[in-house]
């Protein structure tokens, strides 16, 4: 004998049936707090009539919104995909569910998505018990929406790979300042003293902290940064456009260029390497490069393994769920930041150079690679 499959009504369907908001229906079905008694009664009667059962939701545990900024094509960044994979695994262990909230990196659509999410307190009629913000929101949306989200999910929101304690959001983040010291130190130990910086305007907050570490490392050996260049790489940044932007800042005489560069992101470093090759330079023979994060997409573009400061992204993702769980247990806990250190991954983009070569670059002089890619 075959069992009859019974379709269970959703909160959204009940809301549409009654002409109410999904958030009102959800609250009425849970506690009814703040809603008129007659409205709660009408909602619960309609839920019973339509076949809604509270157990279908409660059996699945907490519902957690996962807010992530997307690329121009609407896809997640590689690191975000790695994060949500680990977050989903950690959620499953606790019987929780993850609901992605995709926020475009530019345009007005992000505001509409966040406004709806904050107003409804959930997605498609499912009320969120808490929220994880994967990194900071796009520049044009913060800190306003950081503040709004903190107000909507008081004590139940954390940030992954960043923090905004000032606006009420704690988080698990990286030692970007220390990472900057590590990146510059790799170049310094390879003999470089003429070191430049290329920063991404698309991630200027982390980049500024990383740059601070680079300055500190250079001061420790009595040197200063040779060139500081910031590029708007939010778009595709074609090689021709990068050439124009770099040439606006660099001296005409290549002998005056830095012998090594720290790039604030691996994607920017990969684009820089592609550009260097396009003008006939060799990496690391002519220019050395150190960067951060080490994503496969960036290395595929660079066609070489880049010397990088890598952070424990899986541990950061696991810790973010643990932090949120602790906030559920202790809602009065003040927002805080857990900071995890990075480590150097040797690659193929740094070469040793004699300190006496700093007086002028000789792009024909061979140099020994400072590190081989780890298998």
More confident residue, 362 or 358: 358
Q: Which residues does 250 contact at the CB level (< 8 Å), separation at least 6?
A: 227, 229, 257
Can you give the pLDDT at residue 163?
86
CB 361 within 8 Å of CB 285 = no
> Which tokens hold the place of 24?
């009102």
Can you give the pLDDT at residue 78?
80
pLDDT at 270 exceeding the cut of 90: yes
Could you read off the pLDDT of 94-125 as tens digits, one per residue?
Answer: 889 999 999 988 778 889 999 999 998 988 88
Sign of CA dihedral 44, 50, 55, 57: negative
Cα–Cα distance for residue pair 267/296, rounded to 1 Å? 10
Can you give the pLDDT at residue 323?
93
Cα–Cα distance for residue pair 278/288, rounded to 1 Å? 16
Q: Is the pTM of this model over 0.75?
A: no
CA angle 340, 341, 345 (to 5 degrees): 135
pLDDT at 298 exceeding the cut of 80: yes
Can you give the pLDDT at residue 305?
95
Sign of CA dihedral 272, 74, 311, 176: positive
Phi and psi at 96, nearest 5°, equal: -95, 165
Burial call 219-244: b when 16+ CB within 10 Å, e when fewer: eeeebebbbebbbebbeebeeebbee
Cα–Cα distance for residue pair 309/290, rounded to 1 Å? 8
pLDDT band at 359 (very low <50, low <70, confident <90, very high): low
Minimum mean pLDDT range among 53-67, 298-312, 327-341: 53-67
Can you give the pLDDT at residue 365?
42
pLDDT band at 142 (very low <50, low <70, confident <90, very high): confident
Can you give the pLDDT at residue 296?
86
Task: Report the CATH fold assignment for 176-311+344-369.
Answer: Rossmann fold (3.40.50)
Q: What is the dihedral of CA 208, 210, 214, 215, to 10 degrees?
A: 30
pLDDT band at 355 (very low <50, low <70, confident <90, very high): low
Among 271, 265, 346, which Cα is nearest to 301's? Answer: 271
Q: Which residues does 321 contact at the CB level (< 8 Å), separation at least 6?
A: 87, 90, 91, 94, 132
Helix, coil or strand: residue 211:
helix
Task: Report the CATH fold assignment for 11-58.
Answer: 434 Repressor (Amino-terminal Domain) (1.10.260)
Cα–Cα distance for residue pair 61/59, rounded to 1 Å? 6
Cα–Cα distance for residue pair 40/35, rounded to 1 Å? 7
CB 326 within 8 Å of CB 333 = yes
Please check whether the two domains, 63-174+314-341 and 176-311+344-369, share a CATH topology: yes
More confident residue, 219 or 12: 219
Could you read off the pLDDT of 173-203 as tens digits, one per residue?
Answer: 999 999 999 999 999 999 999 999 999 886 6
343-345 and 126-127 strand pairing = unpaired
Phi and psi at 264, nearest 5°, equal: -70, -20
> In the beta sheet, which residues pair with residue 292?
309
Which CATH entry fits the domain spanning 63-174+314-341: 2.120.10.30, 3.40.50.2300, 3.10.105.10, 3.40.50.920?
3.40.50.2300
Integer CA distances (angstroms), 314 to 135, 173, 311, in order: 14, 12, 9
More confident residue, 260 or 363: 260
Minimum mean pLDDT range among 130-134, 236-240, 254-258: 236-240
SS (H, E, C) 82-123: HHHHHHHHHHHHHCCEEEEEEEECCCCHHHHHHHHHHHHCEE
Can you give the pLDDT at residue 233?
67
Domain regions of the chain by residue span:
11-58, 63-174+314-341, 176-311+344-369
Task: Give the pLDDT mean for 123-141.
Answer: 87
> In the beta sheet, which residues pair with residue 132?
66, 158
Among 176, 226, 234, 178, which Cα is nearest to 201's? Answer: 234
Average pLDDT over the chain, rounded to an integer: 84
Can you give the pLDDT at residue 373?
42
Can you give the pLDDT at residue 137?
83
Can you give the pLDDT at residue 329?
78
More confident residue, 5 or 55: 55
Task: Give the pLDDT mean for 276-295.
Answer: 94
Task: Give the pLDDT mean for 55-72.
Answer: 72
């Amino acid at each position: 004998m075959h069992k009859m499959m019974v379709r269970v009504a959703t909160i959204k369907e009940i809301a549409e049936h009654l002409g109410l908001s999904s958030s009102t229906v959800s609250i009425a079905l849970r506690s009814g707090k703040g809603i008129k008694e007659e409205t709660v009664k009408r909602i619960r009667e309609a839920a019973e009539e339509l076949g809604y059962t509270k157990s279908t939701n409660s059996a699945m545990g907490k519902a957690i919104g996962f807010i992530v900024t997307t690329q121009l094509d609407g896809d997640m960044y590689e690191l975000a995909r790695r994060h949500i994979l680990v977050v989903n695994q950690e959620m499953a262990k606790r019987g929780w569910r993850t609901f992605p909230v995709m926020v475009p990196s530019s345009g007005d659509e992000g505001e509409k998505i966040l406004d709806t999410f904050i107003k409804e307190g959930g997605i498609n009629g499912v009320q969120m018990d808490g929220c994880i913000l994967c990194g900071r929101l796009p520049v044009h949306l913060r800190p306003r929406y950081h503040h709004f989200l903190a107000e909507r999910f008081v004590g139940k929101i954390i940030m992954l790979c960043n923090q905004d304690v000032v606006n009420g959001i704690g988080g698990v983040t990286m030692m970007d300042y220390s990472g900057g010291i590590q990146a510059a130190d790799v170049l310094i130990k390879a003999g470089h003293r003429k070191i430049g910086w290329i920063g991404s305007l698309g991630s200027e907050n982390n980049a500024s902290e990383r740059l601070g570490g680079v300055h500190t490392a250079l001061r420790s050996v009595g040197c200063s940064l040779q060139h500081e260049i910031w590029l708007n790489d939010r778009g595709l940044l074609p090689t021709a456009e990068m050439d124009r932007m770099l040439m606006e800042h660099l001296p005409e005489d290549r002998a005056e260029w830095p012998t090594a560069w720290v790039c604030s992101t691996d994607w920017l470093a990969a684009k820089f390497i592609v550009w260097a090759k396009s003008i006939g330079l060799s990496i690391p023979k002519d220019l050395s490069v150190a960067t951060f994060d080490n994503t496969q997409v960036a290395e595929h573009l660079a066609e070489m393994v880049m010397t990088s400061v890598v952070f424990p992204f899986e541990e950061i993702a696991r810790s973010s769920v643990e932090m949120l769980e602790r906030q559920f247990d202790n809602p009065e806990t003040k927002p805080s930041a857990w900071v995890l250190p990075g480590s150097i991954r040797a690659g193929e983009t740094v070469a040793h150079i004699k300190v006496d070569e700093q007086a002028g670059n000789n792009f024909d002089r061979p140099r020994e690679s400072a590190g081989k890619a780890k298998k």
